[in-house]
Amino acid sequence: MTPTPTAVNVARDWAEIQERMLVPLYEAVYARLEVGPGDRVLGLDCGAGLSLLLAAGRGARVTGVEPRPALRALARERVLEVLAGPPEPSARPYDLLTAFSPAPAALAAALPRVRRGGAVVLAGWGPPERCTVPAMPDPAGPADLDGLVERAGLRPEGSGRVFCPFGYADLGSAVRGLLSTGLYDLSDPGQAEKELTEELHPYERPDGTVWLPNIFRYVVARMP
């Protein structure tokens, strides 16, 4: 039986099960922009901070923004600087702003912290036909990300697609991981668990693992 979702349980499941599924996306972005020593990176909605850890591992100086207290606490356990809201203006602005699940209001509040010519990366779900996560809302497609770039007054530079399969050791782990994504209504946790379990059965392999292939898309823009 999956534990009843609470803010703390959901945050733990994200950090321990789900967050790593997006590593190919994070790595593709950092490789494309050649993130390394001397770069200052600001990550919006950074969750438990894995994306920041990967940037720090390349030598970058990282700061995160995470409004959800349970996730923010987990990121801080990883000895990361993670704030509840956008940082105060500083003498040296950021070189890269990442929003791997972009929210327009948070993006608008953070953009003034990025230097002129600095990079802004937005990411979201790829084409619906290339994503197998069950019962999810219509994913943010290319038009959504490109529209965000245009409305923010950024200068588009390019885009890419990344294969991010969601692989789980068993059905229980898959349910816990997916329930931590925010894609599902948890007002009735038992019903959400039941429905998701049923929809995952077609993706079970003979050895009990669950495999959900997905494509994510990112766009790169520059501050004017």
Q: What is the DSSP string of 94-158?
A: EEEEEESS--HHHHHHHGGGEEEEEEEEEEEE--GGG---TTPPPP--HHHHHHHHHHTT-EEEE
The pLDDT of residue 3 is 53
- In the chain, helix, strand, coil percent, each to 5? 40, 25, 35
Separation of alpha carbons 170 and 189, rounded Å: 19
Q: Note the pLDDT tens digit of each residue in 159-215.
A: 999 999 999 999 999 999 999 998 898 889 899 999 999 999 999 999 999 999 999
Lowest-pLDDT range, 17-21, 39-43, 47-51, 136-140? Answer: 136-140
Confidence tier at 136 by pLDDT (50, 70, 90)? low
The pLDDT of residue 141 is 41
The percentage of residues in the chain with a pLDDT greater than 70, rounded to a whole number, is 94
**pTM score, whole prediction:** 0.93
CA of 187: how far to CAs of 5, 20, 172, 182, in Å? 10, 26, 19, 12
Over the chain, what is the mean pLDDT?
92
Q: Note the pLDDT tens digit of each residue in 116-133.
A: 999 999 999 998 899 999
Confidence tier at 5 by pLDDT (50, 70, 90)? low
Separation of alpha carbons 162 and 73, rounded Å: 29
CA atoms within a 13 Å half-sphere pointing along the CA-CB vector of 213: 4
Q: What SS3 state is found at 48? A: coil
Query: Residue 205 burial by CB count (10 A; 0-12/13-18/19+): exposed, middle or buried?
Result: exposed
Residue with the bigger pLDDT between 135 and 178: it is 178
CA atoms within a 13 Å half-sphere pointing along the CA-CB vector of 165: 8
